[in-house]
Copies of this chain bind each other. A is one copy, B any other.
Amino acid sequence: MKSQITNALSDFFFEYETPRQVLVRNRRVGVVCRLIQLGVLAYIIGWVFIYEKGYQTTDTAVSSVFTKMKGVGYTNVNGSERVWDVADYIFPPQGDSSFVVMTNYIITENQTMGKCPELEGANNCSSNADCDEGRFKRHMTGVCVQSTRTCEVLAWCPVEDDRKIPYPPHLMSAENYTLFIKNSVTFPTFGVTRSNLVEGIDTAYISKCSFHPEDDPLCPIFKLGDIVQMSGFNFETIAHKGGAIGIVIDWTCNLDVDVKHCKPDYRFHGLYGNPDEVDKTRASVGYNFRYAKHYMEDKIPKRTLLKVFGIRIDIIVKSLARKFDIIPTLTAIGSGVGIFGVATVVCDLVLLYLLPKREFYKNMKFKYTDTHPKDPDSETGSTETQK
């Protein structure tokens, strides 16, 4: 019994099976099939391996972004000069990857909680009956103020007058602000960490550089006016009503080469709601929000309301690292062999169904167990037809 197993094992190990093949010496079929096979081979080597780098595995990064604006804005509204520094024009202040730079504003000072008439033009009334109490969008008191012919509301008074957006925008000087971006990415699968302050970007360089797509593509300092322009907008237009800009930091890295070639690529494009969009019937252009500074005056809580128009900047990190890996390589090879099999099937169809000598080739290729399946499992032997 044991020797039987040993025999079977030794048989298994000392034998080797290889398919028997017909070598068809036919120019037409030969050329067609070789061309199909060469095409498949070219596709696998050229497209899958070289062009699409199918021998590599991919990973996306976890990333972290920190931003810092610099620059001082200056306004002179009705003879009252003031400057706006970073603590005044950036929301939120702590350097997030998504923030707003104020470029225009409507200020309503000294608001207190109380009752006052609405602006002319909104909620017009002729008698108290026109002013339902407690409607949802405004909290009405039910009184029609005769001097303005508008309803009285319970609100922060005086109510904000935002019917006209200041033009030219108050803070056109925002064009000269600079933005500094720090970004680090980590590809956890490959254990690689990179910063956008790559080799050669040191303090000396940063102190004097300004991003330019061709001349200084790695400088992490961006002039706000340049950002707006590279996104395809006009600064005055976007500063007037506000808008949103995406800065995409693209890390596409081939880690089979030296990691120092893994560098960020900055791209700029407009997001939703930009004021010079062609289609004016589309909803909601511009970008604005309201922000209040609260204070106490003579024991009465008051606030200064700012309707802020600004440029919202979203920094979006997009990352893809690739590195050689055995599994995608062998999967690509394996499925390539499968496609080779498809090529053989196609050639066989030509050989067996289209050629004049197809009957001859059929007999060469196939060996029949018997002519007609009358008694399939009988032990009465078989014949190879036409041999």
Residues of A within 8 A of B (CB): 12-31, 33-34, 43, 47-48, 52, 54, 62, 64, 66, 68, 70-72, 74, 81-83, 85-88, 91-96, 98-100, 113, 134, 136-139, 154-156, 176, 180, 182-184, 186, 188, 195, 197, 201-203, 205-206, 244, 246, 248, 269, 271-273, 281-284, 287, 289-297, 299, 301-305, 308, 312, 314, 316, 318, 326-327, 330-342, 344, 347-348, 351, 355-357, 360-361, 364-373, 376-379, 381-382
Which secondary structure dominates chain A's binding surface? mixed
Shortest Cβ distance from A83 into B: residue: B139
| Complex CA distance for A361 and B378, rounded to whole angstroms | 12
Known contacts A14-B25, A21-B365; 16 additional CB pairs below 8 A are A16-B26, A18-B24, A20-B21, A28-B376, A30-B373, A62-B246, A64-B244, A64-B271, A74-B134, A87-B303, A94-B308, A95-B289, A96-B98, A182-B273, A203-B284, A293-B294
How far apart are the CA atoms of A12 and B182 in the complex, in Å? 60
* Residues in B whose Cβ lies below 8 Å from that of A83: 113, 139, 154-156
By a CB distance below 8 angstroms, the chain B residues around A305 are 87
Complex interface: chain B residues within 8 A of A182 (CB):
272-273, 284
A292 and B24: CB pair below 8 A? Answer: no
Contact between B24 and A282, CB atoms less than 8 A apart: no
CB of B26 within 8 A of CB of A373, answer yes
Which B residues are CB-close (under 8 A) to A369? 22-26, 360-361, 364
Could you say which residues of chain B place their CB within 8 Å of the CB of A96?
98
